[in-house]
Structure 1
Amino acid sequence: MTQEKIKLLVVGGPTGSGKSDLALRLAEEIDGEIVNADSMQIYRGLDIGTAKPSPQELARVPHHLIDIVSPDQDFTASDFRREASAAIDDIHRRGKKAIVVGGTGLYLRALLEGLLDSPTGDPELRRQFDAVPGEELLRRLAEVDPETAARLHPNDRVRLVRALEVYTQTGRPISAFRAEHGFSGDHYRAFKMAITVERAELYRRLEARVDRMLELGLVEEVRQLLAQGYSRELKSMRSIGYKEMTAYLAGEMTLDEAVTLIKRDSRRYAKRQMTWFGRENDIYWLEYPAAFASILGHVIEFFG
């Protein structure tokens, strides 16, 4: 007998669109619990700059995968898939409903579709490829894996290097691994939604949020992280808001310049997220808060 898939509500979309607020309201209505899918909110101590839910919001509904690693720990999409799956299974076992919320598209894809079962990275190989121009990388890849090469651009160095790395390590093209394992699906039946926001309004919200972060003490938060010994070169400290503030505290730019960069990079990040989620075929774009009653009705019907 085939095991019934766990029903899962996924709230994605760009930063600043209102995902967290929508998820909180839905969770309170349907007896749900929230699983964080934001790659920065996993870090302890990075609170203001990641727009982490407030203590009051965390008290309203149980949250999972927030504050689970220190800023100097590695945490991959594979780690997220493992931890999120365990949290969702626990929520389901207790008779609650799981709501996965976040804008990290790779995390959501890893959870819902699986990860490619290919070799881990080789730092030495990557250093060798780093010195090779993109056009040459693409030419080399076309010789050994024309299927993958046909989908890539010379500027897409990350995927080019990864594909060549896999071939060099195994003698097999990464397309072969995809054909064998693919993104293999899982035991979830997901209802995916995102909030549609007019771009100018989204950018206005993002800029206002950055100003609010400054009022809440972003500068002091970054100062404390540095004082605790966390290097500005860490992945967590190179994220938007933190890299600019470390540069300011190092005397490399003024506070106004740092704030301007944070706002610019926040807009760019939101644009990339909109592009990512816009490519998803099975995601429902909904207006919030205007259409909350309709959204709630669809969610209740889905879980019913």
Structure 2
Amino acid sequence: MTPPLPIIAIVGPTATGKSDLGIALAHSVDGEIVNADASQFYRGMDIGTAKLTLPEREGVPHHLLDVLDVHEEANVAAYQQDAREVIAGICERGRVPILVGGSGLYVRAALDDLRIPPTDPAVRARWEARLDAVGAPALHAQLASSDAPAAQQIHPSNGRRIVRALEVIELTGEPFSATMPTREFVSPAVMLGLQIDRPTLHDRIGVRIERMWHDGLLDEVRGLDRIGLREGRTASRAIGYAQALQQLDGILTETQAQAETATLTRKFARRQQSWFGPDPRIHWLPYDAPDLLDRALATVRAAAPASGP
């Protein structure tokens, strides 16, 4: 009997074609897609997140898309539970789970031995106020003084993760680094990363941003604004959506909104590369290889558990 395939994860920076490879692999291995892009959790956030349309999904089942309203906050602990339940269900049906997305912490929450520490809105709000007062670099320095290993793994500009680390330290009395995921899969898995040179990636991001506005991002944001987009801590800050809101408010011109979105998306892509790059388990494949699917399939099959004694 052919040994079962491992869970497949397709990771890497935005705009590299992860979704397209996921669909192709799903057709090849009888797979189902599990979303690991935090922005795609939100109903109605379609154009600005490059969410595949129903026709583009080509009949492949997709899970954990459109599971939150825009005023709700994404939660890693809830995602971990939901993703593992979905993955177990796919496996029980005899199919292959294919995790697709560039939200690194969510990918690791689904696949790795990761303990989710507690949270407290009041404590977090206090640290967020501190972030607003002194800025991310100063707060990062404070984190470094109390938990150097955590500070080394969190970029000084990533205010949200710095706040989370300080919140956990205060609530648990333990270093945040003690709760960071280990590179240890809880179930057999193989990670595929799509590799791209930076100039090409920047060009692809620019094209994507222009297409977002052309395809009606402003209308999408107008509609979401009527149902509580501004109330959502996560959704309202999503790259592209925050800039579209500022354009609607007259704070930015369309040119400025697009330029700021492109700049922030490029910075986000660099952070994604920094997150995934050090992970030795990832098999990196050229995003534009003519035989990309064949290479991906060969990597997946080589990682399949051996059959028999």
| Alignment TM-score, normalising by the size of structure 1 | 0.85
CA contact (8 A) 2:16 2:194 kept: yes
Distance 1:242 1:118, change over 3 A: closer
CA contact (8 A) 1:194 1:283 kept: yes
| Structure-2 separation of matches of 1:9 and 1:258 | 36
Alignment-mate amino acid for residue 291 of structure 2: A
- Equivalent residue for 1:10? 9
Matched, 1:236 2:222: no
- Equivalent residue for 1:302? 303
Matched, 1:275 2:274: yes
| Structure-2 separation of matches of 1:153 and 1:197 | 22
- Equivalent residue for 1:217? 216
Matched, 1:60 2:63: no
CA contact (8 A) 1:5 1:187 kept: no
CA contact (8 A) 1:138 1:160 kept: no
| Structure-2 separation of matches of 1:148 and 1:224 | 39
Distance 1:233 1:283, change over 3 A: same
- Equivalent residue for 1:116? 115
With 253-262 and 131-140 compared, the bigger mean Cα shift is at: 131-140
Structure 1 vs Structure 2: percent identity of aligned residues? 35
Consecutive unaligned residues of structure 2, counting only runs of 5 or more, are none
Matched, 1:261 2:264: no
| Structure-1 separation of matches of 2:114 and 2:30 | 30
* Cα deviation code 1:5-34 (max 9, x no counterpart): 982111000000111111111110111111
Deviation for aligned residue 1:132: 6.9
SS of 2:48's partner is: coil
SS of 1:116's partner is: coil
C-alpha RMSD of matched pairs (Å):
3.1
- Equivalent residue for 1:291? 291
Distance 1:122 1:5, change over 3 A: farther
With 120-129 and 149-158 compared, the bigger mean Cα shift is at: 149-158
CA contact (8 A) 1:42 1:69 kept: yes
SS of 1:191's partner is: strand
With 54-63 and 241-250 compared, the bigger mean Cα shift is at: 54-63
With 230-239 and 207-216 compared, the bigger mean Cα shift is at: 230-239
Matched residues, number = 297
| Alignment TM-score, normalising by the size of structure 2 | 0.83
* Cα deviation code 1:218-241 (max 9, x no counterpart): 111111111234326632021111
> Which has the larger Rg?
1
